[in-house]
Amino acid sequence: MSDALPRFELPPDDPERSPITGWTRAHWQTTGLRWLDHVRRHDSPGGGLPRLPGRVTADGPRRESMETVGRSFLLAASLIAGAAPETAEPLAERYARAMLAGTDPDGPESWPRGVTCRAPVTGVTNSIVEAANIAFGLHISRERLWDRLTAPERRRIAGWLRHHARLEVWHNNWQLFPAMAEAFLTSVGEDTSGCTGTRNVARVESWYLEQGWYTDGPEHAIDYYNAWAIHPYLWAWYRMTDRTATAEGARHLDRLGQFVTSYARTVAPDGSMLHVGRSLSYRTGALAAVWCAEISGVNPLSPGATRRLASGVLARFVSHGVGIDRPLDLGWYRPYEPVAQTYSGFGSAYLAGIGFLGLALGPDAPVWTDTEQPQPTDSEFGTHAWPALGWLVTTQRDGIVRLANHGSDHCEIPVEPTRPDPDDPHYAKLAYSTHTAPGTAAAWEDGVDSHPALLDADGRASRRGPLRAVRVDGTVAASVQLPQRDGRVLPGCAITSVTLPHDAHEVRAHLVRSPGGHTVREGGWAVADDLPLTAEKRSGAASVTNRQGLTARVVALHGYDAAEVFTYQDANAMGPHSAVPALTATADPGDTVLVSLHTLARSTPLPEPPVVAVAGTVVTVSWPDGSEQRVNLATCCPWDGRIPGTTTV
């Protein structure tokens, strides 16, 4: 550590230019420099192997240090491109020095080289990711960094990039990593023989769903990798290969604009993002696609609305101290490693820096000079359907955004019944929100929150596993799961689940098909706080409330026997204490219909509930505003009907 950490002070708010957030470009630059200063303070003599505090993966600290350079360079590159010379030039010198140290194969700070990703994998693979990040950053900062290197220096870095551009990688967003390295080499006239970037990009484009969203590979995994990897790297690839004006390039820009429209509907007015999907420690990286659209002139949001949305997200994290008194950590609003993956190390979270791409635009850009305008969720309330994703997104009037998830499961239908359960708490839940996080650690083992489960004789909850059918139509979303545990589907069991949202409420209805005798349990949202929560339980209803007034409530409407509250410590990214309200029932042989009302709200009193009627498998919901929803659980989500352990359905 080279020196003491100075006091962090943001510039004064600008109520005239930024009447909603107060934030300006100066706030962004001050924050970005603070994040980078943490890396500088833990730097190595040559700059190539900074050693931040935090977790080290099985690949070892040298890989983590390489990752720290590559990812923090994403933030630095935008400042190098768009900041004044007195800020940009020291950063350019610092990162050029780090890259030259890391790419010197015989130097004391040389970086490990990636290997082709084929099973079984041996050796370090994540250097392929950092090759892509460095290529992206070099493209953004080219005039002030790459173009000022000597010819031998350029050859050294190009050789390291070329090695990675020729590797085979996993069949998901990783396809874009060697393509990134190849594209940058192409843009600067370097040799790219033996590379397959065009093929890789075509593979990723084939995973497109709708409204700007891609699934992350053959698995139906939908998450922020769209925002911080797929869209930014496709955007940069078309630019670096001079294909933006082609039909394919124009198609991607259209998809990019559509993505910004849909993504903007997932950000709450206070800047909170939906807490869903993996690698959530990348946080503000989700803003990268918005900035790409702004730079390319395809942003459907006005410049003022763009800054309002982006500043709201960054300000929200900064208000919780993210990156202020310590380097970016693995967590969300606080350090919390259960949200991280096994491959996440002490520098991983710095991918958040790609969300500062707007700083590559100079201070005179309209996105920095125009007056802030409201973002969509400031005034557009209601539910939006994304059928190909299996998602319904609801904006509540109290500023919470909810996701009903009937499509993303991040797992494949198993070929062999002995596969371990592939579920992940950040994909497997029926519901997510901007103000709650799914239960992890012990809470994930219990599998209570936002999950309809069958309990075995030991009280263990079934897993949702891969979804067998999905349907989203208007404001109705449905899916079919075959409950499983220990890699085996429970014999003769299937659950059809339906979500019917309405402002702060949603009705969840389930058709449970089973031999009978199973206990069925369904939980609401997990609410967290720094202190234990307030819980209430009575016959057929339960609720939990934190000190900020956020309440999750469940009410039995049909078929449930009892209500419970589950409490946890250190099992939620939003706070050390968490609690979940839940309902239980006993499944009859054949079909069992269960209906519950779920509420997540910050308002007092809670909104008036609906009236629900059940006739056979038909559920009718009459809302207080006079609207009505009706669904037949037996026919709403067609599937092949095959259930292990039965002959007919």
Residues 500 and 370 reside in one and the same domain: no
Q: Are residues 354 and 420 in the same domain?
A: no
pLDDT tens, position by position, 139-171: 999 999 999 999 999 999 999 999 999 999 999
- Amino acid, res. 607: P
- Same domain (yes/no): 351, 494: no
- Residue 17, in any domain of the structure: no
CB 521, CB 448: distance < 8 Å: yes
Name which of 557, 545, 538, 641 is nearest 598 in CA terms: 557
Predicted confidence at residue 487, as pLDDT, reads 81
pLDDT of residue 604: 75
Which tens digit of pLDDT belongs to each residue from 14-35? 999 999 999 999 999 999 999 9
pLDDT at 187 over 50: yes
138 assigned to some structural domain? yes
Residue 118: inside a domain:
yes
Q: Are both 182 and 201 inside the same structural domain?
A: yes
DSSP letters for 543-606 = EEE-TT--EEEEEEEES--EEEEEEEES--TT-SEEEEEEEEEEPPSEEEEEEEEEEEESSSSP
In this prediction, residue 420 carries a pLDDT of: 65
| Res. 573: pLDDT tops 90 | yes
Tell me the C-alpha distance between 633 and 478, whole Å. Answer: 9
Is there a contact between 80 and 359 (Cβ–Cβ < 8 Å)? no
By CB atoms closer than 10 A (0-12, 13-18, 19+), residue 377 is buried
Q: Could you read off the pLDDT of 207-235 as tens digits, one per residue?
A: 999 999 999 998 889 999 999 999 999 99
Are 335 and 411 in the same domain? no
The first and second tokens of residue 473, run together, are 């139509």
Residues constituting the chain: 649
The per-residue pLDDT for 10 is 98
Cα–Cα distances (Å) from 324 to 1, 31, 88, 168, 282, in that order, read: 16, 8, 21, 38, 16
pLDDT score, position 417 = 46
- pTM exceeds cut of 0.85: yes
What are the φ and ψ backbone dihedral angles of 350, each rounded to 5 degrees? -70, -5
Residues 72 and 200 placed together within one structural domain of the fold: yes
The CATH number assigned to the domain holding 277 equals 1.50.10.10
Q: How far is the CA of 18 from the CAs of 12, 27, 47, 375, 434, in angstroms?
A: 11, 11, 38, 13, 23
Kindly state whether residue 638 falls inside one of the protein's structural domains: no
pLDDT recorded at residue 644 = 66
Question: What mean pLDDT, rounded, does the chain reach?
Answer: 94
- 6 lies in some domain: no
Residue 7 lies in a domain: no
Number of independent structural domains in the chain: 2
Query: pLDDT confidence of 3, banded at 50, 70, 90?
Result: low
489 with 562, same domain: the answer is yes
- The verdict on 514 and 533 lying in the same domain is yes
- Residue 120 is predicted with a pLDDT of 44
Structure tokens at 38: 């943490």
Per-residue pLDDT of 429-480, as tens digits, reads: 999 999 999 999 999 999 999 999 999 989 999 999 889 999 999 999 999 9
Helix, strand, coil percentages for the chain (3-state, nearest 5): 35, 20, 45
Which residue segment(s) compose the domain that 404 sits in? 386-632
Q: Are residues 603 and 490 in the same domain?
A: yes
Q: Is 401 exposed, middle or buried (0-12, 13-18, 19+ CB in 10 A)?
A: buried
Of 375, 408, 435, which marks where a domain is finished?
Answer: 375
Mean pLDDT is highest, among 263-267, 417-421, 608-612, for 263-267
Tell me which residue of 446, 308, 292 sits closest to 373, measured CA to CA. 308
Spatial CB neighbours of 234, under 8 Å, sequence gap ≥ 6: 176, 201, 204, 205, 252, 256
Banded pLDDT at 506 (limits 50, 70, 90): very high
Q: Are 376 and 463 in contact (CB under 8 A)?
A: no
Same domain, 396 and 313: no
12 found inside a domain: no
**Residue 594 sits in a domain of what CATH number?**
2.70.98.70
Do 341 and 396 lie in one domain? The reply is no
Residue 562 falls within a domain, yes or no?
yes
For residue 116, what are the contacts with CB-CB under 8 A and spacing of at least 6?
A: 167, 168, 169
Closest CA relative to residue 426, chosen from 27, 443, 418: 443
Residues 174 and 85 in one domain: yes
- Report the percent of the chain where pLDDT is more than 90: 88
Please name which of 517, 466, 499 lies closest in space to residue 636, comparing C-alpha atoms.
Answer: 499
Residue 647 has pLDDT above 50, yes or no: no
